[in-house]
A and B are shown apart, each in its own frame.
Chain A
Amino acid sequence: MNSLFPSIVSRSQSSGLMNFFVPIISIVLTLITGSIIFILLGFDPVYALYTFFISPISSTYGISELFVKATPLALIAIGLSYCFKNNIYNIGAEGQLTMGAIFGGGIGILFHDTSAFWLLPLMIFAGAIGGALWGLIPAILKSKFNTNEILTSLMLVYVALFILDYLVVGPWKDPFGYSFPKSRPFSESGRMPLLFDGLRVHFGLIITLFLIFVSWFIFSKTIFGFQLKVSGYSPKAARYAGFNQTTLVFFAFAICGAFAGIAGLAEVSGPIGLLYRDISPNYGFTAIIVAFLGRLHPIGIIFASLVIALTYLGAEDAQLFLQIPSAVGFIFQGLVLFYLLGAELLINYKLTYKKLL
């Protein structure tokens, strides 16, 4: 007779091929589960899935929107991979994004009446600095007081959101805004240039692709990328090699913060054009899923960001055409993460039913 509950046993070797297929399997399982949810809600699953995943991108405008959403996701996810490769769990990208938007947006508000060419570059730079500084707080706490970066980085998200909240209802409130909680709009020279007339996809996409390329180079060709990897795999080996792990933690947090900050600035100076309360639909958190779905690899992250961006668009269409709350998008994101983690576990471990005596 076998025991009722399986026990989890480590596999001696994980299959390299399966490792590659994990993201694809998770997406397929998500679609299957999604169909079941739609059926239970009383919809024709084919129509529902079509509305969710196909119709949003069946127009040029839709594809442009896909890239608008994918841009911050990919940029933050590639930043997060500096941390995750180093085995640092920075959960606070949303806060770093917000701080980037505050710093960069602050410059935009300060120079709201200039049309000088340097405004946007200065805003981008300030956004990177804001995100990096916010990212360095958990790094300092971790190396000085050995605090858990998961907790501190997450808590700092809410601090950053409250600071933004305070600014847009207080000192930075638009003097001509009828007391709405928003800042005055940035001048035209403080906006991300659009790539195509009539479409919202903007210059942030170019910045993102450039930074992804740079990151690919750093990860695969430089000693810094190597040090991140070694200290992630085995801190003891990194110590033996003489790599300075405190420095690595600082760099990883600062780079991730800077990327998230640029993503935040690109949002407010791109599609939004001013500062207000809800600048990000949780891009900073969703990017964690993107980073893992993309296996922390630059190419993987590009594809993963498109897939997850689609869940945002699909949720909007589902709300419009099926009258389902847009939260269904989060359900899909959650499902992807759930299956991803599950598949990851089963690659390295197997379930066995022990024989009972």
Chain B
Amino acid sequence: MSDTILNIENITKSFPRVIANKKVTFDIKKNAVHAILGENGAGKSTLVKILYGLLEPDEGNIKLNNKDFKVNSPAEARKQGIGMVFQHFSLFDSLSVKENLILGIDEKMSYSDLENKLENISSRYNLPLDLDAPITALSAGEKQRVEIVRILLQDPQILIMDEPTSVLTPQEVESLFVTLNALVKEGRTILYITHKLEEVISICDTVTIMRSGEIIDTSSTANQTAKTLATKMLGQKLDDLKTNYGHIKDEVNFEVKNISCDFNDPFLTDLKNISFQVRVGEIYGIAGVAGNGQSELMDILTGENIDIKSGSIIFDSKKIEKYGPQKRRDLSISFVPENRLGHSAVPELSLSENILLSQFPKNNFIKNGIILKNNVDEFANNVINEFKVITPGNDAKASSLSGGNLQKYVIGREISSKPKILIISHPTWGIDAGAEHSIRESLIELSQNGTSIIVISQDLDELIEITHKISVIYDGNLSKPFKTSEIEIEKLGLLMGGKNE
């Protein structure tokens, strides 16, 4: 049980502006689930890309079963017994499950052999699959199963899972854990990449913690708590966020009433009779697995799509569903869509110029069509200082900022105008824990000053941490709201999976 399968010695990899891995050294034991824990940008992905043959290390050795291990491509890595399931699926949406699996096979195999093998894998590891279903019809959890089966067809000794639970419902996560346990029981080793502390404690045997490219610690997960792991991962203590609902007024100031929208597009989700109400100072969360109508709903809330079939949006007793984004901003409603690069910010433009994407009546940015550059620059500098955005200056291009910094800047831009309503999608998606914390803090502070906030997010922990009420979106339907303080995770999970009692 305690043989070492993989020795990683002094791996160093640097990129033009950063050292992603600094003398990374640790061993992975056979027949175990080994976690690599770290924030975004800690160097986890670089390390597994090296193991999987996608990147070449500058220095260092890797030994697999005590033999030198050096691969130049994923195909070679698979041949040597290392398989990987990526966070973003690489499946052909229009093909069936079976066709996707056939495409992934490197060696020749007869059709009946394949079917036998598939059946064997499905039943042994709790991976039920409908082979003839097209990929588009599958949930995220099912797509992940296809990916796992595809890798298992090659019989790997080591399976790398990159943030496997980020798109799954709590029930799907549980079923994934059953699969992982079955794999380990058979003598395989799993390398589990994550930044979620609870998962490390519940299914991993050993954990390696990375921070800014270096190994902080490798130890058994026994006797660890989420707190101790977090401290090591972040290198600093974060204060608990304090939520307090005393300031919420009993006055609805934003209401969505029976919004329906048909798209006639297989890649978009139709919205079905969506209604909800937000009160002054309230943070209202919309949970759900990706692809259930969140971005379609967001477009309608921002006014980027005003082509709805029926229903209305009411703000300050005005019907605003036909207003475009600028007209809504004029009423002091502000938005932060999910994608930073190319949606809420233009990567090719400077931070200063990016201010101009979102103008509120109070801003004095334009006079007779001419940009008042001094005012814009001053506003940009204020956002940079107040929200601690790390950048050489307001003339730096948006693309030069890290995800977390740019998100702080974009949210800062929207918050600085003290909107009455803030509508924000995935506020902390893909950014590091430090920035995540400061963004959540500023959202709570904003709500305490009387702004109503609507947060669309896949991250349940985030919603539970900051919201007052949560409803769940599934296949274009929005559930009734639940008070966050009284909510049962189990129940939310069922709703996210489409199961209503």
Contacts and interface: CB of A to CB of B under 8 A. Distances in A.
B313 to A, nearest CB: 16
B58 interface: no
B303 A242 contact: yes
- Looking at A221, A233, A234, A242, the one whose CB has the most chain B CB atoms below 10 A away is A242
Nearest to A229: B349
A237 B343 contact: yes
A234 B346 contact: yes
A223 B357 contact: no
Nearest to A217: B370
Interface stretch (B69-77, B151-159, B207-215, B450-458): B69-77
Given A233-B349, A239-B325, A222 B357 contact: no
Given A12-B16, A223-B356, A237 B72 contact: no
B348 A239 contact: no
B342 interface: yes
Interface string A210-254: 000000000001111010011001101101111010000000000
A34 B345 CA distance: 44
Contacts of B98: none
Interface in B303-328: 303-304, 324-327
A226 B354 CA distance: 10
B164 interface: no
Interface in A131-154: none
Contacts of A242: 303, 324-327, 329
A350 to B, nearest CB: 14
B291 interface: no
B134 interface: no
Contacts of B324: 242, 244
Contacts of A233: 342, 346-349
A12 B15 CA distance: 10
A41 interface: no
A241 B349 contact: no
B337 interface: yes
B325 A13 contact: no
Interface in B71-130: 72-73, 75-76
Given A357-B73, A357-B75, A226 B353 contact: yes
Given A239-B325, A240-B325, A355-B72, A234 B370 contact: no
Contact of A240 (B344, B348, B353, B370): B344
A95 B371 CA distance: 34
B417 interface: no
B366 interface: yes
B52 interface: no
Contacts of A229: 349
Interface string A154-168: 000000000000000
B427 to A, nearest CB: 16
B302 interface: yes
Given A13-B16, A221-B371, A230-B357, A240 B335 contact: yes
A239 B337 CA distance: 12
A237 B325 contact: no
Nearest to B354: A237
Contacts of B371: 221-223, 226
Nearest to B299: A239
Nearest to A354: B73
A223 B349 contact: no
B162 to A, nearest CB: 21
Given A242-B324, A357-B73, A357-B76, A237 B369 contact: no
Given A242-B326, A357-B73, A357-B76, A221 B370 contact: yes
B358 interface: yes
Contacts of A234: 342-343, 346-347
B349 A230 contact: yes
A239 B356 contact: no
A303 B426 CA distance: 48
Nearest to A223: B366
A223 B370 contact: yes
Contacts of B76: 357
Contacts of B356: 223, 226, 241
Nearest to A230: B346
Interface in B172-198: none
A223 B344 contact: no
Nearest to B348: A233
A12 B20 CA distance: 16
Given A230-B349, A237-B343, A241-B326, A224 B369 contact: yes
Contacts of B327: 242
30 contacts: A221-B370, A222-B371, A223-B366, A226-B353, A226-B356, A226-B371, A230-B349, A230-B357, A233-B349, A234-B343, A234-B346, A236-B339, A236-B343, A237-B342, A237-B345, A237-B346, A237-B357, A240-B343, A241-B325, A241-B326, A241-B356, A241-B358, A242-B325, A242-B326, A242-B327, A242-B329, A244-B324, A355-B72, A357-B72, A357-B75
Given A221-B373, A237-B344, 17 more contacts: A223-B366, A223-B370, A230-B349, A233-B346, A233-B348, A234-B347, A236-B339, A236-B343, A237-B346, A239-B325, A240-B325, A240-B344, A240-B357, A241-B357, A242-B329, A357-B73, A357-B75
